[in-house]
Amino acid sequence: MSESPPTDITGDDLAESLAAIDERSPLVQHLTNEVTMNDVANLTLHWDALPVMADSPGDAGEMAAGASAILFNTGQVPAGKVEAMHEAAETAAANDIPVVLDPVGVGSTPTRESVAEELLEAVDFAVIKGNYGEISALAGVEAEVKGVESVGEYNEIEDAARSLAESTGATVVASGVADVVATGAGVVRLTAGHEMLGQVVGTGCMLGGTIAAFHGALEDATTAALHGTLAFGIAGERAAELDYNGPASYATNFHDAVAGLDAETAAALDLSERLESVESVESGE
């Protein structure tokens, strides 16, 4: 049975996770979209993990055998890439390698919904990370997704995330104004990030890559999801403390902030007000 996500994470805890990535240099395989591929690869490297973008049939399954974690991103779903995902998933299952799903744009077209449903049936995902609309759509809750963007109101996102976690066995991350991390046993709301992250294309994809990088070095999926999401948001805040003229210069700051968020810096952080346990509306817990 899954456990509720903890709310007592300290700067030292986050420092240990960052040190583990630095020490282990996990190889993270990405089967992702071409729009944000370079940013995801660079951010993975800035976390001290090793990115590889092996996403073609044949090569994907072979490369997966040496990976520490794998990310599936459905931002583009050509038949060859979907086939490669299933091949990589088979290798991952045979070698106990965690797979993270970022269901980009699910809920916007029947094709993306079909791809996501097939993947959920075939793969035991360690973490599922999406925006409010994507997570709601996967959970079977009414959602409005335009292209790859979540629009509309999601007042019960915590219950949707927990429902999806219960049905899949995965830790679920719903990213939005406040990020939500859910297991089948509980939900935590995170306060970390900056509004400028929403002005840069690809930050959602980069969060998925971040969680995969953390899970490549950390055994526990919920720890990887919590620590990765926290570190990502804190880097977003630190990027805003540097001079920037707009989204482009902020994006550069963000990459620099990730590279500069090392174990020593993290250990000095006060995270006591960052996490809040959320009661379930459905269960009344």
User: Which pLDDT belongs to residue 146?
Assistant: 43
User: Which pLDDT belongs to residue 149?
Assistant: 42
Query: Which domains are seen in the chain, by residue range?
Result: 16-278 (3.40.1190.20)
Tens-digit pLDDT profile for residues 209-226: 999 999 999 999 999 999
Tens-digit pLDDT profile for residues 237-265: 999 999 999 999 999 999 999 999 999 99
Whether residue 202 is annotated as binding a ligand: the answer is yes
Global pTM exceeds 0.75? yes
Whether residue 53 is annotated as binding a ligand: the answer is yes
pLDDT above 70: residue 143: no
Tens-digit pLDDT profile for residues 7-48: 999 999 999 999 999 999 999 999 999 999 999 999 999 999
Question: CB of 68 within 8 A of CB of 18?
Answer: no
- C-alpha 229/C-alpha 204 separation (Å) is 11
- Count of residues in the chain: 285
Mean per-residue pLDDT, 180-198 = 95
Give the helix/strand (H/E) hosting 100: strand 99-102
271 token code pair: 């995270």
pLDDT above 50: residue 283: no
First to last CA, the chain: 17
